[in-house]
Amino acid sequence: MTHTATLALVGDRSPHVVSHTRVPLLLDALAARDRLVLDAYWISSEDAEAEDAVRGFDAVWVLPGSPYRSEAGVLAAVRTAREEGIPFLGTCGGFQHALLEYARNACGLTGVAHAENDPDAEDPLIEPLACSLVGHEAAVTVAPDSLAASVFGTARTVERYFCSYGPSRHLDRLRAHGLRFSGHDEDGHVRMAELPGHPFFLASLFQPELAGDGSHPHPMVRALARAAVEHAASRLTRPA
C-alpha cells in the first residue's frame, strides 16, 4: 500500500544549495523504496511569516540555507510545528533556528540571538564554531533511549556537515525546560536535539540529506516521512 502525506519544505530555495537539490531525489526514493509519498511544497522564509503558513501540513522540514531572508518566518514555522504537534525535522540552519525558537518561546530567553543574523548581539545562543564544519564528516554519539536512537538503531554514526555556526550558551536552560540533546560529537558538543512528548521533533546540525547520492534516504528523512504518514492517517480518523 502506498501512503501519502503533505510536507512543508521551509527555506529559501536555491539551485546553489546542495541540500535543496537533493530533496527531489529523496522524495522519489521514499516513494519508490518505502512507498511513502510526500506531496511537498516549498515555503520561502518570507511566506512562512503568515500565521497559517505550515498549519494543516503533515510534516515540516526546515532546510539549510541560512541566513534566511526572514528569521521571523522560520521561527514561526518551527513554533507552529512544535506547538501543534506537527512532525518536524530541522537540519543545519533548521537545527539552529529550532533551538532559537525554543529558547525564546519556551524558555523565556527573549533576548537570545543567532550571530549569523545579528553579529553584534549581546546574548547569542548560536555562535560561530571554533572550527568550521563546512565540508566535514564527523562521528556523532547517539543518546540511548532517545528518539534519535530509535531512528538510527545505533549508538554511533558518521555524518556530513556544511555549517559554521552552532549552539553555545544557555543549553542547561533549554534542558531544564524539556528539550533533550540526543547527539554529541567526540568533544561533547551538541549535534542533535529532540522534544520528548512531541509526535516527532528532531533536529541536527549535520545534514542527513547529503548522505550518499540521494537514492537511499537517510534514516532521519525516512523517519520524518513515516511520521508524516502517521499524522495524515490520524487526521483522517479524527471525528469531524
Q: Say if residue 130's pLDDT is above 70.
A: no
For cell 542547561, what's the residue?
A: 172
Class of domain 3-237: alpha beta
| 64-107 confidence digits (pLDDT tens) | 999 999 999 999 999 999 999 999 999 999 999 999 999 999 99
The pLDDT value given to residue 234: 87
Supply 97's cell numbers.
Answer: 533556528
| 106-127 confidence digits (pLDDT tens) | 999 999 999 999 999 999 999 9
| 30-49 confidence digits (pLDDT tens) | 999 999 999 999 999 999 99
The pLDDT value given to residue 132: 67
Q: How far is CA 138 from CA 41, 78, 185, 207, in A?
A: 31, 26, 7, 11
CA distance 128 to 130: 6
The pLDDT value given to residue 75: 98
Among 52-61, 71-80, 154-163, 178-187, the minimum mean pLDDT is found in 154-163
Domain boundaries, the chain: 3-237
> What is the CA 25 to chain-centroid distance, rounded?
18
For cell 534514516, what's the residue?
A: 219
pTM of the model: 0.95
> 235: pLDDT confidence band, cut at 50, 70 and 90?
confident
**Alpha-carbon dihedral sign for residues 136, 141, 146, 150:** positive
